[in-house]
A and B are shown apart, each in its own frame.
Chain A
């Protein structure tokens, strides 16, 4: 038995890396050539569980263009990026839908995204401006702001600074999705880096000493730990957090589904607000780039995109679009004036280092 194990070990050692593909990364995209996916007549879209991609939406698109669509569902934005990176230059899908400004640059940096030709006329100017570095590669299809949400029924004095959250009265009462595994968590992390500047790491050190509830995803933080959201109605709610990281319009969504009732409030603390823009991108090596671009154009068409606040609980990217007033949706939603965006001038390598540093800080 032992000899068998040794043989297996030696075999693996000698093979290490041989079974895989060339692991060298391309630095110059002009030298990069993706392997074209074989065109089987079906447009394959890799996305997370975006509700707005309903059967009706897909059917409308197929009726208009004659193109069949197949959805491949990843868990979240991080999983979409990881699949795109893992496929490398041999994509098995045509479109990646749902990468935000903090994830898309990773794929762009590796030459995995095709420059699209979708007409962006009619989309929100501010969104296009903030995402200027990415709009050649990605088509923005929805957006929203990340904020701290606070339970107004529990908290008597609202925090006015992120540093308030490091004080005793907030010990163990703030739920934060991890920047390592959650896109709202990463957005919040980037907001602190961009907003607090040199003080960001001091704040994280102080915050982590104050026993925050770090969760793997947004759902765990908002639904299970946050005491001010719909989670109080759900099975298995714990409710030990009086504040959490969520969207600035989450209280508006709460109100929309509860006849204009909510005890949750969004607050825009300096260094804690991020403008998240989600993109659809055609992958380098896509089987049919024309069909992929038609799909993205359909997604940002006025008829389809106006439904974003209802179906995807995000802002539409159409010029002049706002949240609906119904049931206090707009009334309870905060639109912050200053927000961090994209990578804030940082390159992806630096962000990787920052995430590794955060991981090390978390490990203690």
Chain B
């Protein structure tokens, strides 16, 4: 009886989280189904030409972004792994910056880059990856690769940096290791394959759900996420544009189906990637790598420096853009954009108001997401250890649902659910942190779970044998071993919340809150007749970018040699 109660008590939070994660989606689907009279599957199968085009465009662009990221990321990871400290750390910190760069800041940075390139930039801006994709998609693709390059490096480089080169030396003595193809198949594919697949899957997912980048870099291009975000607010209204509701329902289901496949691949590959890791002294690894192609210093430097410059350039240009203002005679340097942003006449929100509101939201997000993520990761890990693989997969999948479900569906479902059950909550300051915490949950779980998997159960068993109770076992064994991963998870949650745009863009429509990311968009979206408008957007982007970058550099110092296998 006591055992059953304990199981129930442990499961209750799981049901609560499942309700928070799945509830809005169920409410939204229910409403759209009732309004359109069409089932979700029928709506997805009967997607209109616009929806089909959006699905094709999003899938093709995300696939190209994933391939491009891996193709560019692998050499950078090799070059980094072969570079001695302290430059390896420095380059890695710079290359890692885009990973937490708010998407809206990245979009502004690439717009500034196009401007710097003059007529060439304008030509580039007008180029399409394929004719129907729309102008700006070439730049969009480059930005997607820029965004995720550090992801590939983050996933692959630790494997390289810790792989014992003696295995490769031994392989060379065997028949299969005589040829390059044989070595790739027997060694590199085994070592890097799962990690690369996981990185490609994550890149695909992030690119597929990218909103701010598409909105600003390829404004004529329709992907599923853009369709859902921009059209979603008109869906679910009885008797009003039923065609739109049907399109949104079908698009949301199609998007969830594609992302479910991607997320399943990521989960499976990450599990294999965790076991592919091996430990070897850093110097041994570097000397192993340095005996081959990557022994050439000029090559290492060229690759690392190019990648670092590629990572940093758009961010630097935002700073320049914030003090560059047009006049009837040409360009001039001015602080008017900063003054206007600080005075805040974009709907009355000043830069500092948005700054504090953003921090407040981010702090609450961390306070909600880290315990919830810890709990979910613990449940997955426990189920794995107890041999209940199916339960582990279900909880893991539940944690990944926020990556799969469109923000528009979550927004619509939350709005309808709250209107129905708790209308007072619609204006609540908790609404945005809860939305952010839900969205950041997959990232927290993806950081904590590998760390938990690497923790030997013997330590806790030993502590229990010594008579330590659950509280002391947590304080003396579990917490110290998981603290680095927890700090990284909290930092990533903080960084993500600071720059989150899509959900904020939807949620702030029902509250008076604003965040820096939304404020950048507000300034960008204003008619730019007044020449201080665009520099004001850049000024807000500078503040947002700087805050997240500083946080990233701090995180990288923590992550170095402390956390392995996760993001």
Contacts and interface: CB of A to CB of B under 8 A. Distances in A.
A87 interface: yes
Interface in A323-364: 352, 355-356, 359, 362-364
A219 B240 CA distance: 25
Interface in A68-108: 70-75, 78-79, 82-83, 85-87, 90, 92, 106
A74 B125 contact: no
B86 interface: no
B509 A71 contact: no
B243 A18 contact: no
Interface string A45-86: 000011101110010000000000011111100110011011
Q: What band does the interface of chain A fall in when counting residues whose beta carbon is under 8 Å from B?
A: 35 or more
A12 B426 contact: no
Contact of B522 (A23, A49, A355): A49
Interface string A1-18: 100100001001101111
B240 to A, nearest CB: 6
A87 B50 CA distance: 28
A16 B39 CA distance: 9
Contacts of A364: 49
Which are the 9 A-B pairs with shortest beta-carbon distances? A17-B34, A235-B111, A235-B115, A23-B238, A236-B111, A259-B328, A220-B219, A233-B326, A16-B33
A44 B427 CA distance: 10
Question: Would you call the interface of chain A mostly helix, strand, loop, or mixed?
Answer: mixed
B531 A53 contact: no
Given A83-B233, A356-B241, 11 more contacts: A16-B34, A23-B238, A73-B347, A235-B114, A235-B115, A236-B110, A238-B135, A258-B328, A313-B527, A352-B241, A363-B50
A54 B348 contact: yes
B4 interface: no
Interface centre among B344, B347, B394, B426 (most CB of A within 10 A): B347
A219 B547 CA distance: 29
Interface string B192-219: 0000000000000000000000001101
A213 interface: yes
B321 interface: yes
Contact of A53 (B114, B347, B417): B347
B231 interface: yes
Contacts of B530: 257
A106 B40 contact: no
Nearest to A4: B394
A359 B243 contact: yes
B534 A235 contact: yes
A266 B40 CA distance: 46
B415 A86 contact: yes
A237 B239 contact: no
Contacts of B31: 17, 19-20
B348 A236 contact: no
A328 to B, nearest CB: 12
B345 interface: yes
A261 interface: yes
B26 interface: yes
A106 B234 CA distance: 13
Interface string A204-222: 0000000001011011101
A213 B220 contact: yes
Contact of B511 (A17, A20, A72): A72
Nearest to B52: A363
B222 to A, nearest CB: 8
A232 B241 CA distance: 36
Interface stretch (A223-231, A275-283, A299-307): A223-231
